Every structure is written in C-alpha cells, then in structure tokens.
Chains A and B, each alone.
Chain A
Amino acid sequence: MKNTILLLIGLGLLAGMAEAGEIGEVDIHGFLSQGYLKTDHNNYMAETEDGSFQFNELGLNFGTRLSGKLWLGMQFFARDLGTDGNDELVLDWAVADYRWQDFLGVRVGKIKNNYGYYAAIRDVDLLRTSVFVPRSIYSEMFRDATSSFKGVSFYGEIELGGFGSMAYDFVNGLPNMGPDTGLASGWENYWAFLELDVTNLKSGMSFTYDLKWETPLNGLMLGFTRMWFNDIEVDGTLSGNLAEKVYHITGFHEKSDLAYIFLTIRYAWQGFVLMGEFAQNDMDRRIDMDGFEGGYLDADSITTQGWYAGMAYRFNRYFEAEYKYSEYYGNRYNKDGKDVYDNKLLNQLLNINGTLKSRNDDFLAWTKTSTFSFRFDISEYWLFKFEIAYNDGFGELTSAQTDDLKRYWWLYAAKVTYNF
C-alpha cells in the first residue's frame, strides 16, 4: 500500500511538472513476464517439484530529460519467486543523473547496483538469453540486498588512447535490507536447525566499485568489481527443541562484513558471444546468542566461490541459443563437502556436527550446472524463453528447500515477456 501511494505520488509529480512545462516529454516504458518452473527433484526457490507459476516480474519505467546534461528517471518493480517478492510493488531505482562530461557524471537517489555483467539486468528478462542469470555468481538470496543502493554514484568513460576505453561506476550508499527480504530467508535457512526467525536486518554504508575495460580488440570487454557491505546486523529469535530445551538459547545477534570480488570477460563477434565470470565472497561474522555460555562466538569467516563460462549464438532475428557451465561452492575451503560444518567453534561448544556432516549430504557443498537456453523473439515486443538445467549438488541456500534433497536434479524454466 505504501509503495502504491509512492507510485501515485511519483507519477503525479512527473505529470504535474510536464503539464507545467518544467520538463520535456516523459518517456514511459515497461515490461511484464510470466514464467513456469519445474524440477524433477528438490524445490528450487518455489514449490517446483509440483511445478510453479510463482515466477513473474513487472517493471514500469518513467524518464525525462531536463537539459542536455540532466536526466530524471524512476522504475517501479514487482516480482514473485516462490516466497520472495510476492508481487509487492517497490521502487526499483529513482535517480537524478547529471552528466557533466563524458568522463564524469553523478547520480543521486536510489541507484541500480552495477556489479559483474548481469547484476543490473537480472530483473529485466528481455536483456539476456537465459531465464536465470548464472546462479553460481548471482545469488538469488542476495538479490534484494544487492539490487540497488540509496546514495550517490560517480560514473564515466575515459578514453585510453590506443588502449581502448575504461568505463567506471562507483556506487556508495545503503543497500536494501530488511526482515522481509530474501536475504533474511537465507539467514533463516542457514540457521534452520535452531529455527531462527529474523526480526531485524540492516546494513551500514556499502560500496560497489565497478570497472569495465573495452579493450583495443573490438568486442572484447574485461570487467572488475569490488563490493563491500559493512556492519550487517541480524537479530532474531530461536525456538524449537534444540535451541530451547537442549542449549537454552533464545535470542540471536550477528554482525557481519561482506566483501565481494567479480571478474568478467566477454567477447562479442558478429552473432557470437563468449562469456565467463568469477566471483568470491568473504564474510566475517561475530555471533551472540542469548543465554549462551561464554558470551559470543567469534565465528570463522565463510568464503564462497563461483564461476561460469559459456557461449551464445544468434541464428537470426528470431532465435538465439546459449550454453553455460557453472560451479558454485558455499565454502571454498570445503569444496568436496567432506569437512565438518565450517564453524569449528560452534561445533566444539554446541557439539553440533553441523548441517553438512549430520545429514551426510556432501553434495550440499557445491552446485555444478549445465544450462541450455533458447530465446525466441516473436516480435520486437514479445519474447519466449525456454531453459533446461542439469544440476549436480545443492550448494545454494534458497527459500524453498526440502529435507529430502537429491544430488542430481533437473530444472526446467519457461517464460513469456512483453516489453514496450
């Protein structure tokens, strides 16, 4: 409701300014997509074992140019992916963009976070061949939190003479975190054995520094991104037999810092696109549990790692196909899943052998995926996609896991998109 009012106020302001002649024409664009997900085993993001239509996105975009250098725009967005999103309308981004020179511009407002190749376009299905962005790099659980920052960004493109050009985008601000976001679900899944219910989730100032180098070799782009989330605070309650009756702990408080690194390579030649990315995420944690003897757990850091490589080819204006292979590891130091639960101190103090070991599911340490994607551009406005992914392992945290996980599983996805 709050966001619907926000949308109406925003539209009213733009319409009023246009009517008053203070701004030029307001461009309106948008997209709408409806998908279907099915897995043979394991629920992925939604109740996919039975097939799920809880997979849709809607975006409505307004923009106007106030002068040659100043531009205003905003986009409203709603999505549903299983328990995430639930079609709640949110302000995706809203910026005032002043491009002083080609080598330096500044944006203020709620700014789309531009890391890696796919982050900025993961909500916009029509801008890629595949249905899902590579899950080994772009975690669904962190999607809401990493999508945009409220703050300021400096961007531009610098000519490097005979060495091509370098585009940069430095975003500084507050990420979108809260107990209703997908990230909270991820935390709850991670601590599911203590039945954590997240009641508070917030972060301090965070930064994304992105560089994309267009090399002198026509079509070859190299990218580098560093992203930091500082002072993430998670509070919640613990319940269930294990927490209440065995360990006598009721409250949960965690402070964490996250640091990401992304490397991108992309080469486009005529209808071919070759692509690859690598990402690593280091997370330092300090955990307090109410009633826990010894005060707090100075928990071990967690380092996740992922990469993918692939190739796409556009056969004609109607049809494009893509293949990608990806690997993701929830703990880069425990890639085969043979080690015990990664928090050794927790093992020792609580005598918990951890989710990995206790369930004897080594394959929860990784996800290795081969994905075939097919894109049909029915017209300029209509698009249909179909995707088949064969998965080995279930290393990702999702909001709809089942207890009886299988190591090998297929994911089928189909999606129809309209844009204007």
Chain B
Amino acid sequence: MVFQITLTRICHLAAVTMSAFILTVFSAYADDIVFVANKNVCVDSLTKDEVRKIFLGKISMWPDNSPIRFVIVQQVDTHKRFVEKYANKTEEQFWAWWKRKLFTGSGTVPIRFVSEADVLIYVANTPGGIGYISSNVKIGDNVKVLHVSDNEGKGTK
C-alpha cells in the first residue's frame, strides 16, 4: 500500500516535471530570437561570438569580403532579449557603445526599424543584409534563416 502511494507520487511528480520542462522549452522557443540574412550571404550559420561582433561592428565583412549590412529592430522586447543574450550588454550599454562610435568619429549608428516586418523587407532586398526578429514572426522564403550555435569556436563560414 505504502509502495503503491509512493509510486503514484513519483509518477505524478515526474509528470509535473515533464510538463514544466515541455512548457519551458516551448516558451524558450516562442520567445527566442531568429537571425535572418539576405539570400546571397555566403554563410548558413554563425557562432554567438560572431553574432556579437557583427552587431557591435567588430566584424564588418562576410568571409567572401562583401560588406555586412546589419539592422536593429526597435521592438522593445525583441531588442532587449537580443542585446542581453547575444551582445552581452544591457540595452543602455549597447546604445552607449554605438553612440561612442558615432560621436568620436569611428562609425555610424546602425539602421533601426520600428517593426520586424520592415527588418525582413530590408534584409530580403539588401545584399549582405542581416537582422533579427522574434521567432513567432512568420518568415517568407525570400530570406535565409541562420543557425546560431553556442560554441565560441569557428562557425561554418
């Protein structure tokens, strides 16, 4: 009897844990960032470190030496998740970085779009274009989705 109750409890606990895990995975996916690039971009995947360097202007060219044209989305949640997860900065530090470049004669601030739909249009029509959107935005086949790996080593470029 005691054994039966314990087994029931363990099964219940496992079910709850599994449900929580599935929900967590689903939520993470639903909230995740997707990187989209112009079809002519010569890479299919990037590392997180390469993403950080592209959006901080440290890498300015694709491996085939064509210029990288990246854009920022102003949509608050998406941008906040992007800077924290991929740029390793707070929003304020991210913009301070770019304004430092702007006002000290070492660069221009990135192009910003209000909507994620505009990011998709820009990337689709701009050679070398790359941007990020929320994973719940529908993506057409006129852009390519880049896989981003966690490893700090070489990507597939």
Contact = CB atoms under 8 A, between A and B. Distances in A.
* A and B physically associate: yes
Interface of B: 58-61, 66-67, 69, 88-93, 95-96, 99-100, 102-109, 128
Contacts of A127: 96, 99-100, 103
A270 B58 CA distance: 20
A101 B59 CA distance: 9
B128 A59 contact: no
Interface of A: 27, 29, 31, 59, 61, 63, 65, 67-69, 71, 73, 75, 92-95, 97, 99, 101-102, 107, 111-112, 114, 120-121, 123-124, 126-127, 155, 157, 165, 218-219, 268, 270-271, 314, 317, 320, 377, 380, 419
A68 B89 CA distance: 26
Contacts of B106: 97, 112, 114, 120, 155
Contacts, number: 81
A293 to B, nearest CB: 49
Contacts of A97: 105-107
A95 to B, nearest CB: 5
A177 B91 CA distance: 38
Given A68-B67, A270-B90, A165 B58 contact: yes
Given A314-B90, A314-B92, A317-B91, A73 B99 contact: no
Contacts of A268: 89, 93
A114 B102 CA distance: 14
Nearest to A101: B61
B109 A124 contact: no
Given A271-B90, A419-B99, A99 B60 contact: yes
B65 to A, nearest CB: 8
Nearest to B128: A68
A61 B103 contact: yes
Contact of A73 (B58, B95, B108): B108
A73 B105 contact: yes
- Most chain A Cβ neighbours within 10 Å, of B60, B88, B106: B106
Nearest to B103: A124
Residue among B90, B95, B100, B104 with most chain A CB within 10 A? B104
Contacts of B69: 68
A126 to B, nearest CB: 7
A151 to B, nearest CB: 13
Contact of B103 (A59, A101, A111, A314): A59
B88 A218 contact: yes
A185 B90 CA distance: 41
A99 B106 CA distance: 10
A159 B6 CA distance: 57
Contacts of A71: 107-108
